[in-house]
Amino acid sequence: MIQSTLSPCSLIPRVLCSVMMFLSGAAVLHAAPSASVVLPALTQPASAEHHVGKVIWADLVTPDVAEAKRFYGALFGWTFREVPGDSNYSLALLNGEPLAGLFQKSQPAGQAQQPAWLTFLAVRDADTAQAAAVRLGGKVLAKSHNYPQRGRQAILADPDGAMFAVLAAQGGDPPDYLPEPGEWIWSSLFVKDPKGETEFYKGLCDYDVYDLASEGESGAQHYILSGDNYARAALNALPADSKRRRAHWLNFVRVTDVADTVQKAVGMGAHLLVEPRIDRHGGRLAVLADPSGAPFGVMEWSDTDSKQEPQ
Amino acid sequence: MSKPVFRIWRVGGVGLIALLTLAACVVGGYGGDAGVGYVGGVYEPGGYEYGGWDGGYRVGPPRGGARPAGGRSAPSIPHGARGGGGHGGGGRGH
């Protein structure tokens, strides 16, 4: 009988061998998806353009991608496509053009964390940007990582703790044009130390910084970050009315009617965070949280060249 | 008792598996991020408030004419149509 011939000395290597085989198999399976994730280039055909500092992508992290697809599809007309190699990641498209990613991820139990949109800034070199961010007082949340076709990206936090990502797009950056309704049109950053943050982002993306605080009646610190002679983002002081405010990026989708969009979104389970209001560009904007709690903005933008400012 | 040649194969096999295990773990790498496929999503800290913007609080882009007294004129966002060449004028105000 075999069992009778097995001594403890011969059992140990066999058990050890089995455990190692199991571990190696599990580890290989665990590592495999990262190598096979295929994300399309941001621009097809490839663009020779590079617009450092431009917001070129956004990823939603949510515990319920199916719900997110239903919501954003109905609200903005987005369609969705799976990506090979990762069943948890889907692309959102408008008129066939990719404009965002939806990432399904379990929400950590017992921790106060919320779904969010992650803002991607264009850089020439993700590793250089990652090193610069650390040198300027930021943190690395996910080290630079390469995705064939899309490019190399890293997830960072600025000195105030606002999370964002940098992406060196392999096929070049999307060209500059006025976004259509349903596309991202603008991004704003809210921080506790606007002046200090301008230095961080200037060092990271070589922005031209415009101080517009003096034009506002509130007197709150307010800057415009520009690149290629275009406004790329706003940098605002967080309102000081509450201590429960955290530095964050906020991305806006262009819509034709903010009030209608808000009504529709709320009817589908969104929460209104900032009621429709007129901003400096003369159009309305509002801020919502999608049904999973991820904040995003909606903004009107007239095609006319009106310089009218709200009174 | 096993013959020496089988013992060598067994030791070699165990060693190879150990190496494979180590290599796979290294490839999986940093904080597990590479091991979960795409890593673009991060949850943000929760329990915070949004809004609180007073009447003069501005967050949108300038129209291309926003200029504080004595300051530089801030540019606006691109205005050209897709495929029509967004550059040209640069969106800068007066």
DSSP H or E segment with residue A137: none
Q: Determine the residue type at A228.
A: D
The sign of the torsion formed by the CA atoms of A188, A192, A195, A200 equals: negative
Handedness of CA B76, A57, A59, A201 (dihedral sign): negative
At CA A79, angle to CA A284 and CA A39, rounded to 5?
110
Work out the number of other CB atoms within 10 angstroms of the CB of residue A257. 14
Q: Do A88 and B38 touch (CB under 8 A)?
A: yes
Cβ <8 Å between A239 and B18: no
In A, which residues are within 8 Å of B6 by CB distance? none
A22 at the B interface (CB within 8 A)?
no
Tell me how crowded residue A175 is: count the other CB atoms within 10 A of its CB: 19
Measured CA to CA, the distance from residue A26 to residue B20 in angstroms comes to 11
Is residue A156 within 8 Å of A133, Cβ to Cβ?
yes
Question: What's the predicted TM-score (pTM) here?
Answer: 0.80
**Per-residue tens of pLDDT for chain A, all 311 residues:** 344 444 554 555 565 555 555 555 444 444 434 445 778 889 888 888 999 999 999 999 999 999 999 999 999 999 999 988 888 899 999 999 999 999 998 887 877 889 999 999 999 999 999 999 999 999 999 999 999 889 999 999 999 999 999 999 999 999 999 999 999 999 999 999 999 999 999 999 999 999 987 666 667 889 999 999 999 999 999 998 878 899 999 999 999 999 999 999 999 999 999 999 999 878 899 999 999 999 999 999 987 644 444 44
- Nearest CA-CA partner of A254 in A114, A78, A53: A78
pLDDT at residue A36, rounded to an integer: 59
Q: How far is CA B78 from CA A51, A91, A239, in A?
A: 12, 25, 29
Residue entry with tokens 């500092």 = A53
**3-state secondary structure at position A9:** helix
**Is the confidence at residue B34, as pLDDT, over 50?**
no
By Cβ distance, the residue of A107, A118, A178 closest to B40 is A118
Ranges of each domain in chain A = 55-299
Question: Which neighbouring-strand residues pair with B35?
Answer: none
**Contact at 8 Å (CB) between A188 and A197?**
no
* ipTM > 0.90 (yes/no): no
| Residue B52 forms contact with A (CB below 8 Å) | yes
From B40, B75, B87, residue closest to A165, measured CB to CB: B40
| Mean pLDDT rounded to a whole number for chain B | 65
CA distances (Å), origin A255, targets A191, A211, A259, A300: 26, 27, 10, 5
- Restricting to A residues 73-132, those with a Cβ less than 8 Å away from any Cβ of B are 83, 85-86, 88-89, 101, 103, 105, 107-108, 111-116, 118
- Beta strands (DSSP E) in chain A are 55-62, 79-83, 86-94, 97-104, 113-114, 116-122, 139-147, 151-157, 163-169, 184-191, 208-211, 222-227, 230-237, 248-254, 271-278, 284-289, 295-299
Alpha helices in chain A (DSSP H): 2-5, 8-36, 65-76, 126-135, 194-205, 258-267
The SS3 call for residue B52 is: coil
Closest CB to A224 among B62, B82, B85: B62
Neighbours of A67 (CB within 10 A): 15
A113, A143, A153 member nearest B43 (Cβ): A113
Taking the C-alpha atoms of residue B44 and residue A54, their distance in angstroms, rounded to an integer, is 22
Which residues of chain B neighbour A127 with C-beta distances below 8 Å? none
Smallest CA-to-CA distance from A157 within A254, A247, A34, A24 is with A247
**Interface touch A281/B62, C-beta < 8 Å:** yes
The dotted CATH code for A55-299 is 3.10.180.10
- Whether B47 has its CB under 8 Å from any CB of chain A: the answer is yes
Spatial distance between the Cα atoms of B55 and A274, rounded to a whole number of angstroms: 12
- In chain B the first and final C-alpha atoms are separated, in Å, by 93
pLDDT band at B84; cut points 50, 70, 90: low
Residue matched to tokens 């309704």: A181
Q: Which helix (H) or strand (E) holds B44?
A: strand B44-45
What pLDDT, on a 0 to 100 scale, did the predictor assign at position A308?
46
